[in-house]
Structure 1
């Protein structure tokens, strides 16, 4: 029998966050589903979730959401699933300082600011689960995804360090590392590409034509794409297992590149990554 837990999930408007919120709610957990846009918050509330507005790029929004959450839970929280993130496409040399800052504000800085506010709550109660949604691109890098690669590498470093620092507290850290998942990720990435990349002024102009076509492609754009529920299943284990894993691979590409990174010289792996991209 599953013991019901109180769980905060970021980025629940669609995709992985939404699917995970549904799965955990069905399993009897009390889910606090967050989204950045008020319309999405209202929709989640209408579907029966306790919905909170949370914008990870805004410290005031983070503090307000945490205060509201703790007021509703009498100051307790069993777990947080740090899912909210986005991907800024573009060659590294075309990424301005402000574009990189925006990528890190949400994917890294806001995520960790939220987590740091929740750690004292978990420390007081002697129990907690902090689950980060990383990526296969937190294990290996691929071309034209430099901002996103870097944000996920940073997130992995923070999670690994936090796991060491919180040893013995009863707080467990887990990383989920998906490959291609069906979601709005590419649609949102294309909007960011249009807003922040000027292909006409770039050395990579020719490659950007193919990149834009891939981002606009309907349906799965990569082999071995899985539904968002595949990630939700790993979150369930990270939340409910007595001894959660440190890392959860999702999709064949993550297993493949995680293995190849361990056994191949870096130059050989680079060849495969260039072809895969």
Structure 2
């Protein structure tokens, strides 16, 4: 029986790479994208793709229904991946911008996950994979909205894993550090949409932020390609008992360790330098 996989956020980056790689490997992959033009583009590239907007419960339900029609009612793996980062100091962040961050990065994932769990329970197996971040383990300045959404996702997923422990549904987190993607370009657009740079006491730092986000090449020497996330995703798919957490990139391993061993003040001093 061919394993069926739904992946969200496939227009570029991690989702795009994993969808194509797993499709080539022979899995029944259903990719999803928020915009119709991206859905059509991925279909032309040979993928089965549905429109699924994490900010719309109606779109989520329709996208899942179309997915189950393709897979004949079965779903073996859900890879929740669709997300973006909202830069800016918390004091400058409009509440609506924070609400939008959680809508895409957490609430939409919850709505989709809730709808998938009964499918997996009925079929007697399933795996839910959440793509988190090193910023779900430690916080960095000017990334408060994204930090908060990923910290919330970590707690959400740990709770879900405990609640599903007596079922055949497995829950795992993948926690990447810097990965090559459209993340910076999308973050720059959200910054310009929501942050009044000129009125902020952080305006000089914001100028550096815009320069970093505007670069075409990665600003972090530890940045890996999207294929780095495929490896743990494949390990989860292949395992009968997948682990709770999979770290990706050196910064995640480093900060995951330092978070456990350092006093908060020492860790804060390191994180301030890393921002």
TM-score by length of 1: 0.98
* Structure 2 residue aligned with 1:142: 140
Aligned with 1:160 (options 153, 158, 161): 158
- SS of residue paired to 2:21: helix
Q: Deviations over 1:82-134 (max 9, x none)?
A: 00000000001111110001000010000111010000000111100000000
* Structure 2 residue aligned with 1:77: 75
Aligned: 1:128 with 2:126: yes
Distance 2:21 2:244 in 1: 21
Q: How does 1:1-40 map to 2 (within 5 A)?
A: 4-40=2-38
Q: How does 1:1-277 map to 2 (within 5 A)?
A: 4-277=2-275
- Offset at 1:73? 2.0
Q: Deviations over 1:198-231 (max 9, x none)?
A: 1111111111011111111121111210000000
- Offset at 1:168? 2.2
- SS of residue paired to 1:88: coil
Distance 1:255 1:268 in 2: 17
Distance 1:196 1:60 in 2: 26
- SS of residue paired to 1:67: helix
Gaps of 5+ in 1: none
- Offset at 1:71? 2.0
State the Cα RMSD in Å: 0.8
Gaps of 5+ in 2: none
- SS of residue paired to 1:85: coil
- Offset at 1:69? 1.4
- Offset at 1:74? 2.3
Report how many residues are paired. 275
- SS of residue paired to 2:29: strand
- Offset at 1:22? 1.3
TM-score by length of 2: 0.98
- SS of residue paired to 1:164: helix
Q: Which runs of 4+ in 1 moved over 6 A?
A: none
- Offset at 1:234? 1.0
- SS of residue paired to 2:79: strand
